[in-house]
A and B are shown apart, each in its own frame.
Chain A
Amino acid sequence: MKKKRTDINVEPKPKKLSSRVKAVQPTAEQPLTIQAATESAGTVPRERKRAPRKKAEVPASPAVRGAISASPGDSPATQTRKIRRAIAEKKETPIEMPDRTAGASVSAPRLPTPPPAISPPEPKLKEQGAGQPEAPIKSPAASPPLPKLKFEIPRILFEGDEPLLPPESGPGRKFAIGPVPSDARTLETERRLQQRLASGKVTLVPRDPHCVFVSWDLTDEQQQSYVAEAAQRQFLLRLRLHNTAGPIVHTASVTRESRHWFVPVAQAGETFIAELGFYLPDGAWISIATSAPARTPSATASQDRTVRFAEMPPPARPQFSGQRQPPLEYREPIRAVAPAATDYGRKEERRAPARQQAPSAGFATEWTAAQERALDEIISAVVVRQEWFDSFQLVEVLEHRRGGREVIQGKLAEMQFELPGPSSAELISVERAKESVSSPSGVEERAPDRGFWFNVNAELIIYGATEPTARVIIGGRQIKLRPDGTFSYRFALPDGQFELPAEATSVDEDRRRAELRFSRHTTYAGEVGAHPQDKELKIPAAENVA
């Protein structure tokens, strides 16, 4: 019989020094005192990921420190700053890497320039330079000019919805004192590495359901040669849905120093391709390169509820036998077990060795709706709390977005019913916290009894395009066109009447005018709620056209 052994063991009282304690004597091989010159210019110990930080502690005051030492040392923060400075001062003998641009009068560490729409650029040392392109890339002259698309309007235009970077958070915050300039050797290495990137390729990587990362390998010289030909002296990055013939869902003008871009996308679980190019002064579109297609992750639970079981083959080595054996290869295909309405009841025989079951012995297929609902409730309760206490630091994300913990607390009950859908399992959608355009995070509870419900709402998107040089006035206010001449505005559309006159004037004073009138009049039958909507949206009025 097992004996309860859960009493805690308190450490024994302090005892006197053991005779085993010996001061380490310096030796020739192991000097006790390490020379300062041999120390690394390292930094404070790395804060391991997601470890729960003890509550943020204010560094002890000098008085408190005085309890230990009459002459306190530097505070951790001060020391950390010193350590950071030491990085910049670090000098060591590098392993030289070949400079493939040797001879060229180049000194251009081309550090990444972040898109200003997403986050401010990280301060870095930067120099301008001009090396020689090494790899042949497609010449603009060799590209047949494409027909000018005067009214190439993105299908879905969402402005101001770029996902924000989460704030600094977690254990690293203590030592996060901002970017530190790299030392000269690192910068030189980076410069040389950068010169090796000249494939001319565009790469698209889905970062999350609503953001893709696009990068391109062009040297400074390649970029500058293209920019020199471009009508707006800048590149355009286009994101297309599905394939190269798909609709453009995002267009961004990128700076000449940029080598990558984070593009917000509305559609989760969709395939995109990225295209880098520019317009010639005559309006012809020149494509520099196009990425391979890539698919963003799905952000919701699958609607496919097919249940099919399979049986894992036995392991290749004995279970915890402790006996070493030569590596075994097993390639047996997994055995599909046909679902059968067998005698498998609400509770299986827990200890029955599963492999003794006949292959036909599946699990219960009579999974009831009541079970489904009960499990959903368990999950949703946990998921809602997860937004409070998780290890992803979602709390910080939410605080950042919602303006403080109090707001979160106030919304807790509502969040539980935030997202409609057939299953509350969808609440796990972590990206929901980002207030993405496809899942605005307004809150409107549905019936707590989880019975039938219905929410509806409406938004309005005004979009258009004209000559990039034209002047456009909407609602009496001049708007700023995108470099390709497009524009778009997104509004909430509550019940009511709205008017927005739009007028475009060319450089030759040629004018076009459109009177846009909208009305919404909703009638309801039964209990109908307002579907959550982005609270940043305003009604389509002239004063809301920025």
Chain B
Amino acid sequence: MEGYLSLVLHAHLPFVRHPEHEKFLEENWLYEAITETYIPLLQILEKWQAEGIKAPLTLTLTPTLCSMLLDPLLQDRYSRRLEQMIELAEKEIHRTHWEQRLNSLAFFYHERFESIRAYYLACGRDLVGAFRRLQEAGLVEIITCAATHALLPLLKDHPPSLRAQILVARDHYRSCFGLEPRGIWLPECAYCEGIDAVLREANLRWFFVDTHGLLHANPRPRYAMFAPVITPNGVAAFGRDLESARQVWSRHEGYPGDPRYRDFYRDVGFDLEHDYVKTYLPGTDKRGFTGLKYYRITGGSAPKEPYDRKAALEATDLHAGHFLDSRIAQIQKIGRVLDRSPLIVAPCDAELFGHWWYEGPEFLDLFVRKAFYDQKVFVLLTPEQYLERHPSNQMATPATSSWGEGGYWGVWLNEKNAWIYPHLAAVQEQMTELARRFERPGLLQERALKQAGRELLLAQSSDWPFILRTGTSPGYARQRVTDHLARFSLLYDQLMGGEIDELQLAKIEAQDKLFPEIDYRYWQ
């Protein structure tokens, strides 16, 4: 054995839960991810477990994602959504009766959705519990993330906020998984000096930085990104490998762009008559994705060809083999230079596998099987297992960095979203003021303090400036930021004014319902 490979999947979605609406379009982000990524991933992991494949993955399940997966309202709504998808697939089987290629796909989707439904019901709709069991069985190491995926370096000037994001996440992880988290995915891989001190306080042992976070570390790491460094506060920092990321991530040459793979955008929700599909759309009148997609990427300017599942899986097999060969060659090449076994850290957004790249779960499955059965050049392990084998590592301070465009904070701090930060700075100070003022609050005051903390955390989410930057749902993102800021301000004024409107508080609690045991004293 000459080296190691650590596959890291980062599963995250912003907290989107709107009980005030019967149907809310953005909640579909969660439903799509469950159907196309989370359950397929669970099914694969359970197959590995059954077959004795020991190739543990590292998986982030962010606190907001766990909160949504555990939420009864969203569970109900997802169940309803699944039934709708199955019903639509059934209608499609009839509609496409005379179009054989589409008809076979309709059958395929019907079977797939049924399989997803069966799994969901079998695990009692508790996907967090399903992941927990797989962690207990050694198939996956689940790590945490900042409470609401805030870009932590932008909180550096307000240490209580930085602390709260980490400690609330740690507490939530304990409640979900019954263990201390050992690793953390820093949102957007964003790091600056000082964050490691808070990680240490939270008993976290390791995190990830982007490549230049290690290459520009001080002192310069001898092994570049092929071994972790230990920060002055005793936390290990693992660096992202570029070459492996390129093969999976690149929109130009990455595997997901192969013309045999399923096209993401062509969906019957857009293609078919509105009256026919409107019941199954994520919104009532607005067209959207249903999950039934009949076409492959095809390529070029020619009309789209129908999706050929067999050909797509053949491509998956080829790509998994290519990825394996590339890693073997890479590790052998680096291993000839280093005086220790190189480590390749390959992180990806989990939703890449299945949601964006429909065949991604099959790719992952095939790659891991090939890596487990067909080669002895590297072993798949988690960062924790690496540290068990190699506890001695070079000391260095990672460089300020993120994995976002430009390598720093430009995605989350630019002309489209800069207006957020003065507001955040103001309410962060107010939260600390509250936490210090109410050391022994009454029951109602404590409820208000906790909710104020939740609102602040939600306003700090990096997802809103990200969406504002990309322009995908700017109205929604803007509204979310202002809503959370406004709710916080309302609670602040009521707490400081000594009159808490319990009905209003209950309404906000029902609206932004997460982190039930949040400790507002973290902001002191």
Contact with B along A325-348 (1 / 0, CB 8 A): 101111001101100000011111
Contact with B along A407-441 (1 / 0, CB 8 A): 00000000000000001011011110110000000
Bound together, the chains give a CA A215 to CA B157 distance in angstroms of: 14
B392 x A196 contact (CB < 8 A): no
Query: In the complex, which of the residues A40, A307, A428 contacts B25, with contact meaning CB atoms closer than 8 Å?
Result: A40
Q: Identify the closest chain A residue to B370 (Cβ).
A: A6
Q: Given A40-B18, A46-B26, A60-B266, do A298 and B470 touch, yes or no (CB 8 Å)?
A: no
Least distance between B216 CB and chain A CB atoms (Å): 6
CB neighbours of B111 from chain A (8 A): 14-15, 18
CB neighbours of A190 from chain B (8 A): 482
From B265, B389, B395, B475, name the one whose CB has the most chain A CB atoms within 10 angstroms.
B475
Least distance between B85 CB and chain A CB atoms (Å): 10
Query: In the complex, which of the residues A34, A174, A345, A353 contacts B284, with contact meaning CB atoms closer than 8 Å?
Result: A34
From B86, B87, B421, B472, name the one whose CB has the most chain A CB atoms within 10 angstroms.
B472
Q: Is B338 on the interface with A (CB-CB < 8 A)?
A: yes
Bound together, the chains give a CA A386 to CA B244 distance in angstroms of: 10
A79 x B87 contact (CB < 8 A): no
Query: In the complex, which of the residues A24, A199, A379, A434 contacts B215, with contact meaning CB atoms closer than 8 Å?
Result: A379
CB neighbours of A383 from chain B (8 A): 211, 242
Bound together, the chains give a CA A209 to CA B287 distance in angstroms of: 43
Q: Identify the closest chain B residue to A324 (Cβ).
A: B178
Least distance between B358 CB and chain A CB atoms (Å): 10
The secondary structure that dominates the A interface is loop
From B224, B372, B374, name the one whose CB has the most chain A CB atoms within 10 angstroms.
B224
B203 x A297 contact (CB < 8 A): no
Q: Given A51-B349, A312-B234, do A390 and B249 touch, yes or no (CB 8 Å)?
A: yes
Q: Is B507 on the interface with A (CB-CB < 8 A)?
A: yes
Bound together, the chains give a CA A337 to CA B388 distance in angstroms of: 16
Bound together, the chains give a CA A36 to CA B218 distance in angstroms of: 58
CB neighbours of B14 from chain A (8 A): 46
B490 x A97 contact (CB < 8 A): yes
B471 x A213 contact (CB < 8 A): no
Q: Is A389 on the interface with B (CB-CB < 8 A)?
A: yes
Least distance between B363 CB and chain A CB atoms (Å): 11
A355 x B388 contact (CB < 8 A): yes
Q: Given A48-B349, A315-B384, do A40 and B26 touch, yes or no (CB 8 Å)?
A: yes
B410 x A207 contact (CB < 8 A): yes
Q: Given A74-B270, A307-B222, A322-B137, do A392 and B405 touch, yes or no (CB 8 Å)?
A: yes
User: In which size bucket is the chain B interface?
Assistant: 35 or more
CB neighbours of B179 from chain A (8 A): 317, 324-325, 327
Query: In the complex, which of the residues B29, B304, B310, B393 contacts A46, with contact meaning CB atoms closer than 8 Å?
Result: B29
Contact with A along B259-293 (1 / 0, CB 8 A): 00101111010111110110100111111110000
B406 x A382 contact (CB < 8 A): no
CB neighbours of B154 from chain A (8 A): 205
Q: Identify the closest chain A residue to B251 (Cβ).
A: A52
Bound together, the chains give a CA A84 to CA B366 distance in angstroms of: 41
Q: Identify the closest chain A residue to B334 (Cβ).
A: A378
Bound together, the chains give a CA A192 to CA B487 distance in angstroms of: 12
Q: Is B107 on the interface with A (CB-CB < 8 A)?
A: yes
A303 x B220 contact (CB < 8 A): yes
Q: Identify the closest chain A residue to B271 (Cβ).
A: A68
Bound together, the chains give a CA A10 to CA B416 distance in angstroms of: 46
CB neighbours of A4 from chain B (8 A): 373-374
Q: Which of A114-122, A152-160, A245-253 contacts B (4 or more CB under 8 A)?
A: A114-122
Least distance between A34 CB and chain B CB atoms (Å): 5
Bound together, the chains give a CA A169 to CA B279 distance in angstroms of: 33
From B287, B321, B336, B486, name the one whose CB has the most chain A CB atoms within 10 angstroms.
B486
Contact with B along A67-78 (1 / 0, CB 8 A): 011011111100
CB neighbours of B67 from chain A (8 A): none
Q: Is A227 on the interface with B (CB-CB < 8 A)?
A: no
Bound together, the chains give a CA A100 to CA B18 distance in angstroms of: 28
Bound together, the chains give a CA A435 to CA B389 distance in angstroms of: 42
Q: Is A464 on the interface with B (CB-CB < 8 A)?
A: no
CB neighbours of B421 from chain A (8 A): 203, 205, 213, 215, 260
Q: Is B438 on the interface with A (CB-CB < 8 A)?
A: no
CB neighbours of A72 from chain B (8 A): 271-273
Contact with A along B185-200 (1 / 0, CB 8 A): 0001000100000000
Q: Identify the closest chain A residue to B412 (Cβ).
A: A207
B157 x A6 contact (CB < 8 A): no
Q: Given A6-B317, A334-B234, do A180 and B369 touch, yes or no (CB 8 Å)?
A: no
The 9 closest A-B pairs by CB, nearest first: A172-B470, A42-B25, A14-B107, A430-B407, A176-B471, A322-B136, A87-B475, A297-B400, A208-B408
6 contacts between A and B (CB under 8 A): A49-B349, A51-B357, A73-B274, A310-B234, A315-B384, A334-B230
